[in-house]
Amino acid sequence: MSKRLFTLIQALLVLGAAGQVHAKNTTYEVYERGRYVGTTSMPADRYSGMAGRLNATGLTLKPKVDPAAAAARREAAERKQEQWRRENEQRRIAAQQKQEQWKREFERRREAAERKQEQWKRENEQRRI
């Protein structure tokens, strides 16, 4: 076998392997009428809607859960929930501070109005005298 032919075969094998790696096969658990049958793998980019089409035939394809990926998704969800909790707490504190500010302003306006009324009462009393 010539060196060029051997190099060409190697290049084709590498390119073929790169295509398979790029395809990112998805593994599914196969159930037939609710009974576990086995697993299957298919390229995710080529047969993305296959699981939905097969579900109507009595065969059910459920994506196989990778424990590491599931743990990572769970941790990401927990981080997001914690972030939402912090944001909600900040909004609650800001709303509470705003409400207290409004109460103080209301009290100042009420006290100013009462002082004004008292002043008017004194002025009316002095006019009567």
- Read off the tokens for 82: 């914690």
Domain region containing 35: 22-64
Kindly state whether residues 70 and 126 are assigned to the same domain. yes
Q: Is residue 106 part of a domain?
A: yes
Tell me which residue has tokens 């392997």: 17
Boundary-marking domain end, from 7, 30, 64: 64
Kindly state whether residues 45 and 103 are assigned to the same domain. no
The pTM of the whole model exceeds 0.75? no
How distant, in Å, are the alpha carbons of 74, 85, 91, 101, 110 from that of 98?
Answer: 36, 20, 10, 5, 18
What whole-number distance in Å separates Cα of residue 87 and Cα of residue 79?
A: 12
Q: Is residue 2 part of a domain?
A: no
Kindly state whether residues 88 and 121 are assigned to the same domain. yes
CB 28 within 8 A of CB 42: yes
pLDDT tens digits for 73-123?
899 999 999 999 999 999 999 999 999 999 999 999 999 999 999 999 999
**pLDDT of 78:** 96
Kindly state whether residues 56 and 87 are assigned to the same domain. no
Tell me which residue has tokens 């793998």: 41
The count of domains in the chain is 2
